[in-house]
Amino acid sequence: MKKRFLALYLACLLLVTLFAGCGAKAAHQEAAESVAVPMAAYDAGGAYGYAASEETAPVPASAGSEAKIIRTADMDLETTDFDEAVQALAALTGELGGYYEASRLDNDGGRSASYTVRVPSENFRAFLDRVGGVCHVLSVSEYADDVSEAYYDTEGRLKTQQAKLDRLRELLAQAEDMEDMIALESAIADAEREIDYLSGTLKHYDTQVDLASISIYLRAVSRLSDVPEPEQSLGQRVAASFKAGLGSFAQWAEDLLVGLAYSWEWLLLALIILIAAVLLVRHMVKKRKNK
């Protein structure tokens, strides 16, 4: 009679577990359901005193629960002083308690930088607002992903697995049959694996919710986009044109010197040939005069 009571109790426990874990992934659900162990030969002794109705069900998100929002943004920036902007962005990130999750500087075809910035979610808005004082903002895209339902569903299933694990350990402590001990230990291992998975999922959610992520692309430009230049007088325009022309000439002279230095061997050979040709011509002219 006692064995029949224990078998009936375990069947009820399995049924409630199936309902409690219906939202889990298939692989983890199968692991959780392995609590169905052959215990027909186990002498319960009527001392366990557990009712199937006591099994903890997933806790749904109540109206007073804190919303779990993952905040992200993409920013396209430009600056006329690249080095100063890079330093200012790093200082702003540190000031608001953030860090660079990833960064890359590129000098190929123009100076640019790419960053993935993580800042506390409470400083997310402050960061976006203050970047405009550091660089010229071309575009900003913001996103908010509400994961409250998935978060609290995972939290509820974790509590269910923890309660089930406690019951299985109590049953194991009172088990006397070796076959029953092995079956209970297997069920405990499955529950522990499920708890590890659910705990890791919650930690991942917590990190994503607590730290907002901002992707930044910054590039150096000679003139800011969408910013009209102030009107100039005739003298200012002439001076600016003369300065630009002087700069172009200086750049051309530098390129010429670099090119000459790069091909000095060919220049030396050409000079030797030229000197030899001049000497030969002078010799031939002198020879004709002597005749």
**183-222 per-position pLDDT tens digit:** 999 999 999 999 999 999 999 999 999 999 999 999 999 8
CA pair distance 192, 158, nearest whole angstrom: 10
Band the pLDDT of 256: cuts 50, 70, 90.
confident
CA pair distance 288, 291, nearest whole angstrom: 5
Q: For residue 48, what is the DSSP state? A: -
Q: What is the mean pLDDT of residues 274-290?
A: 81
Whether the predicted model's global pTM rises above the 0.95 cut: no
**4-52 per-position pLDDT tens digit:** 444 444 555 555 454 444 444 443 343 334 333 334 333 333 333 333 3
- Pick from 188, 181, 193: nearest CA to 38: 181
CA pair distance 110, 221, nearest whole angstrom: 8
**59-116 per-position pLDDT tens digit:** 445 556 789 999 999 999 999 999 999 999 999 999 999 999 999 999 877 899 999 9
